[in-house]
Structure 1
Amino acid sequence: MIRAAWLLPFVSVLPLTARELPPLPAELSAYVLEPAPDTASPFLKKGDRIAICGDSITEQKLYSVLLESYLTASYPELEITCRQYGWSGEQAGGFLGRMKNDVLRFKPTVATTCYGMNDFRYVPYEDGIAAEYRKNQTAIVTVFQESGCRVVIGSPGIIDSVPHWVKSAAGTQQDLNLSLSRFRNINVEIAKAKNAAFADLYRPMLLADFNAEKQFGPDFKVAGKDGVHPAWAGQVIMAYGFLKGLGVDGNLGAVSYDETSGKATAANGHEVLTSIGGKITLRSTRLPFCPGPGATDKDDSIRAGMALVPFDDELNRFLFRVTSPKAESYTVTWGDQSRTYTAKDLAAGVNLAKDFDNNPLVPVFKKIWDAVSKKQEYETRQIKSIIHGPEGAADAEAAFALTEKARTPLEKAISEAKQPAEHAIMVTAVK
């Protein structure tokens, strides 16, 4: 792999960690959000085993698939593995009761938690309910930490309507979101007290929902059409929050082309195979997050979620630069897509992952995505239907042994999907 001297100072000027956050818009001034602790980077370690824990929003296997696919494709050198433990209707206290049997036996080194949506019981804030939540959340963190597991406490998100299926729900949508904001703040306090990491899902979802309604109208629901369970856009925002909480830096590679010499250099998981006549052929072991094209104005679209938060700018940077440009502008072609940039833009560097939504790495990424999805589907069946079903009741250890044999090839398929990809970037001066 060829490394260029410009790459390190170039990427360092882009946003790498949490910044000082601006105040909320005046329309959201009722929401008082405590400053959240930043996650020290690097947080993740090679060989980490991540337990993704939560309620029905986790069991949807949307943000959890986003997380695992991203970490597998974009940080392959870390060799991270994940297990998904979502359980519909669960509160923090319920998870506390099953975490030793279901989770700790697999010796996770990192755990993400996402509780609070059921815990606040869909009523305006009550001290007694909040105290119970604080007690259970603190206990979960303590149990994980005592087992040697690092914890990322995820805050609850928002709701977009009062859920009709919760007969005991009371108050308005704003009443309930204000209650959830205080549950978020409880998690901030626990994270600080327990020296745990924190993933802020609430603030980016609140802002995205506010901005999406202004841009796309009231039918765009960040928290989902049922008001509680986000579709893809909201789930991307959740994944964004968790990845920030995991301390991910988003530097997913860089390529530089010197027009004068015709030579190209690459770094951080990318190798230049040839550079001839402006065509740069690469072999990449690291992939940017590239789910393919999608609408940016629909709440069931991954691309919509990526546009509502700075996902590409902060977590998905695959950068291309032209040094010593001779022309005023250039056409860059990557796969079947082309874009024209000024020489000034290319000298500063452009983010190909952001600008090319149907790039040649999309099919490679999809293989990883599909393998992750199949494994996580089985993990729900393994824990909920088998371990907590008749087989587990009869002989829990035998049930675990049997289900692990079924799960092993699914995990192996993810590793096999991580293959180097060859692709080409073409840069042509506009005359």
Structure 2
Amino acid sequence: MRKIKVSATIGYMVLLLMYVPTGLAVAQNKPQPVSESPTAPFELKNGDRVVFLGNSLFENDFQYGYLELALTTRWPDRDVTYRNLGWAGDNVFGVARGTITNPPTAYELLMEHITKAQPTVVFLAYGGIEAQDGEAGLPAFKEGLTKLLDKIDALGARAVLVSPIPILTADSTGSLALRNAMLELYSSAIAKMAADRGKRFVDIFKPIQEIKQKAALTENGIHLNAMGYYQLATILEKGLGLPPRSEPISITISKAGAETTAPVKILSSGADLQFTINERYLPLPLPKENSKPTVPGQIMKISGLKKGFYTLTADNEEVITASASKWAEGVDISQGPSFEQAHELQQMILKKNDLFFFQYRPPNTTYIVGMRAHEQGRHTKGLEDQSIIIKWLEGQIALIRAPKSKTYQLTLLK
């Protein structure tokens, strides 16, 4: 379940009362999805609308924004819209969404949410809830997943199927091994359906299970925390066939000057080494509470330095200080201007997603669009107008999603 932060300011409370589903037009006569190889490198195109659809695996990322941050920074030159339709406790029949009235049924509401989002790409993550029904529930799950894929196809969107994640710690409800065996069974069923229908499948079950420090990834063994979503974002990137975000930097200093290879360009090799790095993507910033990084950032090796300690700066902002021997071994760069820019971008994404969350599922839904709309239905227009703010925030995201050119300098401490 998503944790909701409520501000005490009057202005924010007014905004909360104004959020409602946007009046997006229902797409008509959209073409069938373009055929693509599930093994080809994944790509988002200018104008794509990406939807995350599933249970708490997606909804809980509203708190962290790592999945959207990862994809946003991969194509910084392209305008791509993201909408998170994850709903805690949901299954392929949308059972958890029945919160307004009947009609619409929970399933009708699920179909409405998908249609209004007008997706061109849908990341589909179900199976975690259904696996609790064991092997007996598998036929119903396949039926529901088939219908969802039919709907996505009818909208002309590409579907990327994602496996459920494993349970990482035992509890009092049953055997950990048995529950994970069922999750793996459902994961295999998803993979087979993806193969049968020519869809892309990303296995996140096994990669998460293989992480050594599993306890640091969840809040309760089931729901991922900030580090869990950081890891999930990197696993998703790899599963989509995307290249590493950065490549090791190696610079060799000699009497003749300094030598290196792309993406580094040497500006000066005199008393202070100066260089630039052609950064294709912003880095993924580690969670702020992660005091001891366990995931390497940008590895930078600088050999040939005289004995002493050297400080690396980026546009005159200190990044890190290390000895000559450490620089020769390779220093892990996990802070500095690029990481600060990525963190700023992440915060902007979170603000935008907060607005969207309360817009498409406001706390007083029943009174605005449900069976008691006769009481507060007048707020519908005001809530739809929140799309203006969301659009403005998306414009701000576009301004800071690409790496900025920086001049690095390595200086000997005296």
Q: Which of 110, 115, 118 matches 1:104?
A: 115
CA contact (8 A) 1:54 1:90 kept: yes
Describe the shift of the 1:275–1:79 C-alpha distance in structure 2 as closer, same or farther (beyond 3 A).
farther
Which residue of structure 1 lines up, in the alignment, with residue 349 of structure 2? 372
Q: Which of 395, 399, 403 matches 1:416?
A: 399
The answer on 1:147 being equivalent to 2:141 is: no
The answer on 1:402 being equivalent to 2:405 is: no
Q: Which of 117, 142, 145 matches 1:137?
A: 145
Residue 205 of structure 1: how far off its partner (Å): 1.6
Describe the shift of the 1:414–1:163 C-alpha distance in structure 2 as closer, same or farther (beyond 3 A).
farther
Residue 138 of structure 1: how far off its partner (Å): 2.1
Higher relative contact order (CA 8 A, sep 6+): 2
Q: Which of 281, 284, 287 matches 1:286?
A: 281
The whole-number CA distance in structure 2 between the counterparts of 1:41 and 1:63 is 28
Residue 284 of structure 1: how far off its partner (Å): 5.3
RMSD: 3.8
CA contact (8 A) 2:230 2:287 kept: no
The answer on 1:69 being equivalent to 2:64 is: no
Amino acid at match of 1:173: L
CA contact (8 A) 1:112 1:152 kept: yes
CA contact (8 A) 1:162 1:172 kept: yes
The whole-number CA distance in structure 2 between the counterparts of 1:240 and 1:255 is 20
Residue 405 of structure 1: how far off its partner (Å): 2.5
The answer on 1:126 being equivalent to 2:143 is: no
Amino acid at match of 1:212: Q
Describe the shift of the 1:104–1:241 C-alpha distance in structure 2 as closer, same or farther (beyond 3 A).
farther
The answer on 1:390 being equivalent to 2:367 is: yes
Q: How much identity, in percent, do the aligned residues show?
A: 19
The whole-number CA distance in structure 1 between the counterparts of 2:124 and 2:196 is 16
Is there any run of 5+ residues in structure 2 with no aligned partner, and where?
1-36, 98-106
Amino acid at match of 1:236: Y
Q: Which of 227, 234, 242 matches 1:248?
A: 242
The whole-number CA distance in structure 2 between the counterparts of 1:173 and 1:343 is 43
Question: SS at 1:336's partner residue?
Answer: strand
Amino acid at match of 2:135: E
Describe the shift of the 1:327–1:411 C-alpha distance in structure 2 as closer, same or farther (beyond 3 A).
closer
The whole-number CA distance in structure 2 between the counterparts of 1:64 and 1:93 is 26
CA contact (8 A) 2:62 2:354 kept: no
Cα deviation code 1:240-271 (max 9, x no counterpart): 3322343322254787767545587755xx8x
Describe the shift of the 1:243–1:64 C-alpha distance in structure 2 as closer, same or farther (beyond 3 A).
farther
CA contact (8 A) 1:71 1:80 kept: no
Question: SS at 1:280's partner residue?
Answer: strand
Question: SS at 1:157's partner residue?
Answer: coil
The whole-number CA distance in structure 1 between the counterparts of 2:409 and 2:288 is 21
The answer on 1:238 being equivalent to 2:232 is: yes
Which residue of structure 2 lines up, in the alignment, with residue 212 of structure 1? 213
Describe the shift of the 1:252–1:397 C-alpha distance in structure 2 as closer, same or farther (beyond 3 A).
farther
The alignment of Structure 1 onto Structure 2 pairs a total of residues equal to 351
Residue 294 of structure 1: how far off its partner (Å): 5.6
Cα deviation code 1:376-410 (max 9, x no counterpart): 12222112217954323347984773342342222
Which residue of structure 1 lines up, in the alignment, with residue 11 of structure 2? none
Normalised by the length of structure 1, the TM-score is 0.68
Residue 97 of structure 1: how far off its partner (Å): 3.8
CA contact (8 A) 1:53 1:113 kept: yes
Is there any run of 5+ residues in structure 1 with no aligned partner, and where?
1-36, 214-219, 298-302
Which residue of structure 2 lines up, in the alignment, with residue 26 of structure 1? none
Matches within 5 A, 1:214-363: 220=215, 222-225=217-220, 227-252=221-246, 259=253, 260=256, 267=263, 274-275=267-268, 277=270, 278-281=273-276, 286-291=281-286, 295=290, 303-304=293-294, 307=295, 333-334=312-313, 335-339=318-322, 355-363=332-340
Which residue of structure 1 lines up, in the alignment, with residue 167 of structure 2? 159
CA contact (8 A) 1:387 1:399 kept: no
Residue 202 of structure 1: how far off its partner (Å): 0.7
The whole-number CA distance in structure 2 between the counterparts of 1:67 and 1:293 is 17
Normalised by the length of structure 2, the TM-score is 0.71
